[in-house]
Chain A
Amino acid sequence: MKKYAKAAFLLAVLAALTALCACQDSVNTLENTDKTARREYVNSRYFSTDSYCRDRITILGISKTTTDAGLMKLQVQIRSNRYGFWSELWSDIMGANPYHISYRVDWLDAKGMKVNTATSVWLPEILMPGEVKFIQSVAPNANCRDFFISFKEN
């Protein structure tokens, strides 16, 4: 009898785990490999103080362009690494699925001074497991040359 109870318990655990696996709602992506767009990639330096945030988000690329109005436009491509069984299970338990982050873009002029704008505030971004997002920002004026981006978990 005891043997049957143990087997039933194991089956129940297995069924629960299978159900949880089926509940995964991670994002699948598809892209062309022969790229036609010529991106102007930006060399960057990443300083992380939060190893969790660093591991959960991959910076896929930073690129820039200049708009018709002569303003610098920035694009940061990020991917949420919170996919896979254990990662999603843990984020579900912690109530962190989808993953909420905030970012802030500060713009600097030709002399490296911060340009005060109405838009240099923390802005929210929500990422599904495995989702790729493109964070974009347009410089507040044509004098802006450099940028500084901050990320944090919410």
Chain B
Amino acid sequence: MKRNIFFSLAGAAALLGMTGCGSAPVRIDTASSQGITTVHQIDFKDWQIAAEKGISSMLESGAMKRADGRKTVLMVGNVKNSTRENVNTRILTDKIRQAVLRSGQAVVTTAVGAKGAEETAVRQVRELENDDLFNQSTVQKRGTVIAPDMSLSGEIVQQQRHSGRTEESYFFIHMVLTDLATGLAVWEDNVEIAKQGTKSIFD
């Protein structure tokens, strides 16, 4: 009898010990397939997939190429977050603007953005024109900043569904490139990401 109690206690202690075991934090390769996959949130892999598909489609379209040979000046506009999550869409737009710059098809302005200038220094340095501390010939002149030709904007929409213990999220990432002279969309594409998971009966 005592022996049974001892084995039961030892077994329970071993199980408790096993459930208490964790693993030390490790760095993972952001380019790899590692990383946490959640159903209702946009994980870093999802941003990478969306960026890769969006960039490939945009570069392939040649929409940024100008007939006069000058490089298009692109501004990053608003990417509306219509999901239930608090997401920073900058992860997507930064990847796209870097790819645009590296492609050589366009240059990106930071003097204009969706919420005002991204780089406030452009305006700030021009306010030095009345400051006698500075050599006025070195102060940036007004009327030299180049206005954008095109704007990149978009929206992220999420749709959630549940059926029994199975839950699903569908993310629809819409991107559009607008010619600011005409207001016409010169390129548009969507990236769709669907994720599904089944909850444990203990959840």
**Interface size classification for chain B:** 20 to 34
- Contact of A73 with B by CB under 8 A: yes
CB distance from B1 to the nearest CB of A (A): 43
- Chain A residues within CB distance 8 Å of chain B: 67-69, 71, 73, 102, 104, 115, 117-124, 136-138, 140-142, 152, 154
Please name the residue on chain B nearest to A115 by beta carbon.
B102
Instruction: List 7 contacting pairs A-B, 8 Å CB cutoff, sorted by A.
Output: A69-B65, A118-B98, A122-B33, A137-B56, A138-B60, A140-B59, A152-B33
Q: Does B49 contact A (CB under 8 A)?
A: yes
Write out the residue numbers on chain B whose beta carbons fall within 8 Å of the beta carbon of A152. 33
Report B8-59 residues with CB < 8 Å from chain A CB. 30-33, 45, 48-49, 51-52, 55-56, 59
Which B residues lie at the A interface, using CB under 8 A?
30-33, 45, 48-49, 51-52, 55-56, 59-62, 64-65, 95-96, 98-99, 102-105
Whether B31 contacts A104 by the Cβ 8 Å rule is yes
**Given the complex, which residues of A lie within 8 Å of B60, measured CB to CB?**
67, 69, 71, 73, 138
Q: CB distance B33 to A141 under 8 Å? A: no
Quote the shortest CB–CB distance from B104 to chain A (angstroms).
5
A122 proximity list for chain B (CB < 8 A): 31-33
